[in-house]
Amino acid sequence: MLVVLAMTLAGSLLGSLTGVAAQTSSSGRQLLFYNHAYGVFDRETADAVEHSAYLKDFANFQVRTTTGAGGSKWTGRYLMGRQTYLEVFGVGDLPGADGTIGRAGLAVSAERAGDLPTVLNRLRDQGITDPVVFRQTRDFGDGIPVPWFDGVFTSAQYDAFGAWGMEYLPEYFADPRSKTEPAAFPGDVGRERYLSDDYAKHLMRDVTDIRIAMTARDLANTVPLLRSGGFALHPVAGGGTVAQRGGTTIRLDVAALGQVGLREVGMSLNRPVTRHEERLGRSTLVVGPGPRAVWSFDARR
CB atoms within 10 A of CB 123: 21
Question: Is the pLDDT at 19 greater than 90, yes or no?
Answer: no
Predicted confidence (pLDDT) per residue in 77-136, tens digit: 999 999 999 999 999 999 889 999 999 999 999 999 999 999 999 999 999 999 999 999
> Distance (Å, rounded) from C-alpha 216 to C-alpha 120?
23
What burial class does residue 228 get, using C-beta atoms within 10 Å of its C-beta: 0-12 exposed, 13-18 middle, 19+ buried?
Answer: buried
Mean of the per-residue pLDDT values of the chain: 90
Residue type, 193: R
**Residue 286 phi, psi dihedral angles, 5° rounding:** -110, 115
Q: Answer yes or no: are the C-beta atoms of 285 and 278 closer than 8 Å.
A: yes
Cis preceding-peptide flag for 117 (omega within 30 of 0): no
The closest alpha carbon to 54, from 235, 295, 300, belongs to: 295
The predicted structure's pLDDT at residue 301: 59
The tally of domains found in the chain comes to 1
pLDDT band for 14, please (50, 70, 90 cuts). Answer: very low
pLDDT band for 141, please (50, 70, 90 cuts). Answer: confident
Q: Which residue range forms the structural domain that includes residue 275?
A: 3-297
pLDDT band for 10, please (50, 70, 90 cuts). Answer: very low
Q: Can you give the pTM of this predicted structure?
A: 0.91
Q: Cite the DSSP H helix spans in the chain.
A: 3-6, 11-22, 43-50, 53-58, 115-125, 170-174, 191-194, 216-229
Question: Is the pLDDT at 224 greater than 80, yes or no?
Answer: yes
The predicted structure's pLDDT at residue 183: 97
